[in-house]
Amino acid sequence: MSNAICFDLHSHSTMSDGELPPRELVRQAAASGVQVLALTDHDVTDGVADAQDEAGLAGIRLVPGVEISVSWADHLVHIVGLGIDTSNSALQQGLSGLRDKRMQRAQAIAERLVKAGIDGAWDGALRYAAGQVVSRNHFARYLVECGRARDTQQAFKRYLSRGKQGYVAMHWATLEQAVGWITGAGGQAVIAHPARYRMSRTLLKALIEDFIAAGGVAIEVLSSSHSPAEARQIAALARQTGLLASSGSDFHGPGAPWARLGSLPPLSIECTPVWRDWDLMRDVTALAPPVSIRSA
């Protein structure tokens, strides 16, 4: 039996494109064996207070986080912030600007979908967003609802991915801005799901170089988006470049079953975990499950 602590440092709630409200997310994380959970909604931290409170009730730790939309070298890159002070005003101003851009993009997406013969996407997506941060995921759910796609993945493939009819390019935050907001709020910046960007090794190395120059410190080695082979490659890259390693499921809810809470294996020992110097590691015994006693 492993006595490793179960970390899941990437998850979403209804405050962005997740399906569960923050408190329910925390309860399900605890029930799945997660001991340290980061809530990392897209461009918003409004779920952190409730999640923090519920984590206290559930007996797990909640790391305040965010996932920031970044434009870098013509790519949409996601930068996760862990351990942020959500009251930091520069961070909140930056995130507020990104949410405005999300609304502008949503209007443009809806207009393009009308041209593709799909009416009602604006109302439909906003209904799924329920007054919170609007995401392409909400459009995907609407496209499934009106029979244009079998599931949200197919909706992305047909309409919402880069190059498709409903895709709208935007200038999000710069890498320097996103990392600056996170570190300015006392957090650690992490490159999210690097294998998803389908970058060449050279381009990924250039991203890492710019990221480190901006003050970034970690990269997701383990993610539901990564195959075991990709995880090994990213682990090697993390070692070479001196980045710490993070692990997060990118859970969005039961409707996206490819990412399950607490489902990832422990980080390989060659990695230096992003949580190495976290305060909670000092009273690790309070978190660790009972170590099995084996006879010699």
Residues that bind Mn ion (CB under 5 A): 17, 67, 78, 192, 250
Terminal alpha carbon distance of the chain:
15
Do residues 38 and 190 make contact, with C-beta atoms less than 8 angstroms apart?
A: no
Residues β-bridged to residue 223: 248
Report the amino acid identity of residue 74.
Answer: D
Q: How many CB atoms within 10 Å of residue 263?
A: 16
Closest approach of Cβ 137 to ligand AMP, in Å? 4
The DSSP result for 238-269, as a single string, is HHHHT-EEEEE--B--TTSTTS-TT-SPPPPT
Instruction: Note whether 10 binds ligand AMP by CB under 6 A.
Output: no
| Region 116-175 residues binding ligand AMP, contact defined as CB under 6 A | 135-137, 152-153, 156
Partner from ligand AMP, Mn ion, none binding residue 153, C-beta < 5-8 Å depending on class: ligand AMP
Closest to ligand AMP by CB, 162 vs 276, is 162
Partner from Mn ion, ligand AMP, none binding residue 226, C-beta < 5-8 Å depending on class: none
Query: What is the distance of C-alpha 94 from the center of its chain?
Result: 17
Closest to Mn ion by CB, 8 vs 50, is 8
Instruction: Note whether 17 binds ligand AMP by CB under 6 A.
Output: yes
Closest approach of Cβ 224 to ligand AMP, in Å? 11
**Tokens matching residue 281:** 């590691």
| Region 164-203 residues binding ligand AMP, contact defined as CB under 6 A | none
CA Rg, the chain, in Å?
A: 19
Q: How many CB atoms within 10 Å of residue 90?
A: 12
Do residues 75 and 169 make contact, with C-beta atoms less than 8 angstroms apart?
A: no
Partner from ligand AMP, Mn ion, none binding residue 263, C-beta < 5-8 Å depending on class: none
Helices 201-214 & 175-184 angle (0-180, nearest 10): 40
Do residues 6 and 35 make contact, with C-beta atoms less than 8 angstroms apart?
A: yes
Binding test (CB under 6 A) with ligand AMP, winner from 15, 20, 42, 244: 42
Closest to ligand AMP by CB, 43 vs 54, is 43
Site string for ligand AMP, 230-269 (x = CB under 6 A): ----------------------x-----------------
Closest to ligand AMP by CB, 61 vs 105, is 105
Closest to ligand AMP by CB, 90 vs 170, is 170
CA distance 196 to 3: 30
Closest to Mn ion by CB, 10 vs 148, is 10
Q: Interface residues with ligand AMP (CB under 6 A)?
A: 17, 42, 69, 135-137, 152-153, 156, 252
